[in-house]
Structure 1
Amino acid sequence: MTQTGVVGPKAVARAPLEVRIGRAAIVAFALYLMTPTFVHYIEDARPARIPGAVLAAVVVALYIAAGCTGPRGPWHRWAVGVMALLVYLPLPFLGEWWAASSVFLTAMTLGLLPRPYPLPAFALVAVAETFKSMALGDVLAGGLSWTLSVAVAAIPLAGLTHFAETARVLYATRAELATVEVAAQRVRTVRELEAILGSRLDAIAEQGRTVLSGVDGDAAAVKTELGRMLDMAREAQTEMRGFAHREQRLPSGKADYQI
């Protein structure tokens, strides 16, 4: 095919750098792939230039919306179906220059569909592209060459989509692991606190019984025992404050970025 348009409650922080880089790369590469088509329809004098430019913008916007959001869900599969309609339905009246849009459909099959659908869908699109090229006037060799060109352009775009999604999943997983670890630390802290308070209270109770048994005895001994009880109470109070400060320093475990 002779078309040349393919080659080419608190403030939430921004998404992590790797996620933002991946999404920016998706946007930049998608615009790069569609730029020749935009230029053609802007310069074309035929009435189809306006619908062509609008549809090209819709194709790019749909891919960016699907490729830059996660996690992958049912609506991403619907987005692939909508992209297929945008790629093939306008072809009869937009002509050969609209063929570049198939790069986005091919990238979607590889980058958005869940297993085991990507490879069968990719093969189906590749066959459709070969027949489409031949329907537009190419021989079999030209159709195969066009299909290869589409695949070569689509694979990097799909790779960028996978990179952005993988980075998002890794950061989400890290946030989840941090939440689990903080919860485990809190459980350990409560257990230690219960053990220490229990032993201190037992000691104070035992000391109280000693004092009670010696009320009728030496006043100095009673005073000494009461002093020991006060010391134990102060130690328990100090340890309680220490645990409270440790609890306040524990991170919340919640992600502070929007992914």
Structure 2
Amino acid sequence: MTQTGVPRSRVAVRAPLEVRLGRAAIVAFGLYLMSPTFVHYIEDSRSWQVPGVILATAVVALYIAAGCTGPRGPWHRWAVGVMALLVYLPLPLLGEWWAASAVFLAAMALGLLPRPYNLPVFLLVAIAETFKSMSLGDDLAGGLSWTLSVSVAAIPLAGLTHFAETARLLYATRAELAAVEVAAQRVRAMSELEGILGSRLDAIAGQGRRVLDGVDGESDVVKKELGRMLDMAREAQREMRGFAHREQRLLSGKPDYQK
């Protein structure tokens, strides 16, 4: 079975470059791993040609859908179960070439399941692959060789999945931290505004009381006091505009990366 089965070797803001590269690598590597199976069933003239191509497409599509979306949730665990059905149920009808699909199940178990379930399930898949290989005619050495081939191909695919998810989490965490900092700056700005307006309004009120107290005096005194009140009002207006500009800068600096 080791002769042909497996090669040896998330208007929305766009995701960051590292996340997009990770997801593109998952797609490219998944198609590369399944390409011999696609070629075989496309060239096969038997009745299972079309179902083989459809099921192979479903396997790749399911892995891409699960591996390129986050955060990890219950449906990812269900996706592992669906992948197991896609890998093992069609095997008696599609034959030995269909065995390559086990790479995606092993990569799903290792890359999508949470700890501590990922390693035990991965080992279970490896054991199942050994018995599957032997049931298809290989001896123990051939079965172990096939299991090693599946594991070697699945580990890089799971690693790419981990990379894409880690990059997404890092950028999402950075966005949340930036949002917290913006909120803290707004709190400080509101406290500053309260102090500014409070002191200025108190000064204007005191000046108004002095004007009222001296209204019976000379008109020059009244004009002088009213002029001071006007200056205070203009100064308060300038400070309010400065505060508004700072708020606009805070809003423009808000992170917009979407998960």
TM category (shorter chain) comes to over 0.9
Q: Which residue is 2:206 aligned to?
A: 206
**Alpha-carbon displacement from aligned partner over 1:170-215 (angstroms, at most 9, x marks no partner):** 1111211121111111111111011011111111111122222222
* Comparing 83-92 and 166-175, the one that deviates more: 166-175
Quote how far apart the aligned CAs of 1:4 are. Answer: 1.6
Quote how far apart the aligned CAs of 1:258 are. Answer: 4.2
Q: Are positions 1:119 and 2:128 aligned together?
A: no
Q: Are positions 1:195 and 2:167 aligned together?
A: no
1:65-214 aligned at under 5 Å gives the runs 65-214=65-214
Distance 2:44 2:128 in 1: 27
The one-letter amino acid of 1:77's match is: R
The one-letter amino acid of 1:66's match is: A
User: May I ask how many residue pairs the two structures share in their alignment?
Assistant: 257
Quote how far apart the aligned CAs of 1:72 are. Answer: 1.0
* Comparing 184-193 and 174-183, the one that deviates more: 174-183
Distance 1:254 1:242 in 2: 19
SS in 2 for 1:69: coil
Quote how far apart the aligned CAs of 1:253 are. Answer: 6.3
Q: Which residue is 2:230 aligned to?
A: 230
Quote how far apart the aligned CAs of 1:114 are. Answer: 1.2
Q: Which residue is 2:244 aligned to?
A: 244
Distance 2:228 2:77 in 1: 73
The one-letter amino acid of 1:198's match is: G
Q: Normalization by structure 2: what TM-score?
A: 0.94
Quote how far apart the aligned CAs of 1:257 are. Answer: 4.2
Distance 2:98 2:172 in 1: 38
**Alpha-carbon displacement from aligned partner over 1:133-189 (angstroms, at most 9, x marks no partner):** 111111111111111110000000001111111111111112111211111111111
1:2–1:167 CA distance, 2 compared to 1 (3 A): closer
Identity %: 82
Quote how far apart the aligned CAs of 1:59 are. Answer: 0.6
The one-letter amino acid of 2:90's match is: P
Structure 1 gap ranges (5+): none
Distance 1:23 1:186 in 2: 36
The one-letter amino acid of 1:102's match is: A
* 2:2 and 2:149 in contact (8 A); partners too: no
Structure 2 gap ranges (5+): none
* 2:175 and 2:257 in contact (8 A); partners too: no
* 1:111 and 1:161 in contact (8 A); partners too: yes
Distance 2:221 2:29 in 1: 86
* Comparing 174-183 and 152-161, the one that deviates more: 174-183
SS in 2 for 1:121: helix
Distance 2:212 2:12 in 1: 59
Quote how far apart the aligned CAs of 1:26 are. Answer: 0.5
Distance 1:253 1:207 in 2: 40
1:54–1:22 CA distance, 2 compared to 1 (3 A): same
Distance 1:87 1:252 in 2: 49
Q: Normalization by structure 1: what TM-score?
A: 0.94
Distance 2:53 2:21 in 1: 27
Distance 1:50 1:59 in 2: 14
Q: Which residue is 1:15 aligned to?
A: 15
* Comparing 42-51 and 157-166, the one that deviates more: 42-51
Distance 1:239 1:53 in 2: 69
The one-letter amino acid of 1:187's match is: V
